[in-house]
Amino acid sequence: MKLEDICAEMPLEVKTGADRLDVHVTGGYASDLLSCVMARAREGFVWVTLQAHPNIIAVAGLLNLSGIIITEGVTPDPATVEKADEQGVPILTTCLTTFTVVGMLAALGIGGAD
């Protein structure tokens, strides 16, 4: 499934990377601890988090994630948006809870890490 398909099925607002939504999503991971994401997320995963600071872009770039979904109405700060634009990392936001987003991704067939 592509990131654009997920956007069509879920109430997500594209904050950055609108031109990169054709990327294939290979799985998903949800955590607010950067160290856990670095240890367990895999290339091509979409990351679900409450975090909205620039370090999330560094982690997404390091792992070559397909994108980041920021939940619960949290808005990324301007430095995060700028860094995401520079590195081509899609950031999507939603008012839904992390729990709800993960459930919806699972219903769409997006699996997690083993």
Half-sphere exposure (CA, 13 Å, Cβ side) for 81?
11
3-107 fold: 3.40.1390
Any idea where the domains of the chain sit in the sequence? 3-107
Q: What is the pLDDT of residue 6?
A: 98
Tens of pLDDT, residue by residue over 43-91, are: 999 999 999 999 999 999 999 999 999 999 999 999 999 999 999 999 9
**pLDDT confidence of 2, banded at 50, 70, 90?**
very high
Residue-wise pLDDT tens digits, 5-54: 999 999 999 999 999 999 999 999 999 999 999 999 999 999 999 999 99
**Cβ burial 24-45 (10 Å sphere, 16+ → b, else e):** ebebbbbbeebeebeeebeebb
